[in-house]
Structure 1
């Protein structure tokens, strides 16, 4: 994924409803290093602007107190991950101080700049970010390779919700037609819950791990998921 193409897709998506009163337009002027990351960047880099319909994740190097001060007009509430959630035009936004993100707060990642956010994600394809004010797209090499190769792999294995991450890996591999690294296959089998759902996927994955040691897994059969995973 070229930076120019990624930036173009992000700006195209934001341009749909980002007028002067849009919170991102306002917040980028007052919150240092305001960046978009997570599901929005992943989906736009893997597909087109029509592929993203979920919440938007924001992070700033500002303190939580500073963030709360500037988003107060949007009626924010604390989310369960240590940040704040607010809504604009019906779309949810989650925003954190960099130092309140889970991996940094728990000491798994040392963060001194907004780019260090790329070290905190569970999936390698989630490690890109877009600095809203400078309009710079940042993705470390491992993230670019994962996006270009359409490969799901583990970036930071420590996560407070391993079961959710396992089932999200299944969801993404099917919806986005992504390959899965052998390491992630083992993680999914150890932490996923397949009882009564996606049993064929589980059987294929189990067979792959047993018979194709060390090799990436690609699931070609399209299934209808009977569960949902939030970004």
Structure 2
């Protein structure tokens, strides 16, 4: 924000809508890496759902943005990708898995390694599940068993499991192993699907 006035401008606009919450990988990158994150995931929390939904798109009109297929917004500022969501469009909340609140954001992530959230407005940090995954060096699925199959991007989940193991040295829990095996057994041309997912998600094979 100090380096790029356009990024600061984006956050100033988002602050008018409610609490601005950074989640997932960007927080890990800020904590552990010297280079900036590839993209930054943000959730906007406002108790007035209708106001938030009406105002979000108005805020983005001055930026380069588009809607994604899951209801969020991708905003590009200074070659940084921001994926921005209303808290009510968060997948786990939308599906009724948890109530929409800051304390439940981490609980609704697919992997324990992604269960980290920082509220820039209140300075609250929720990272207990993430810290445990690092200390145990174990990648596990955060969701309860009956919600796992509801996740809409299984090939991305499988791909990320291998990326996390490669880059961070986390081993797979039995739950993760079973998830990958089950996906592989019912998917036609699974290797090709993973290659396409990797190219789309990471920009390279």
Do the two structures share a fold, i.e. TM-score over 0.5?
Answer: yes
Gaps of 5+ in 1: 1-13, 199-225
1:183 maps to: 175
- Structure 1 residues 123 and 229: CA distance shift in structure 2, 3 A: farther
2:201 maps to: 230
Question: TM-score, normalising length from structure 1?
Answer: 0.70
2:78 maps to: 89
- Structure 1 residues 150 and 229: CA distance shift in structure 2, 3 A: farther
Q: How many residues align?
A: 186
1:115 touches 1:138 (CA, 8 Å); kept in 2?
yes
1:32 maps to: 18
Gaps of 5+ in 2: 47-51
- 1:20, distance to aligned residue in structure 2 (A): 7.3
Deviations 1:184-208 (A, max 9, x none): 111112114654799xxxxxxxxxx
SS at match of 2:74: strand
- Structure 1 residues 144 and 179: CA distance shift in structure 2, 3 A: same
More helix per residue: 2
- 1:23, distance to aligned residue in structure 2 (A): 3.8
SS at match of 2:43: strand
1:22 maps to: 8
Distance 1:21 1:171 in 2: 29
SS at match of 1:122: coil
More strand per residue: 2
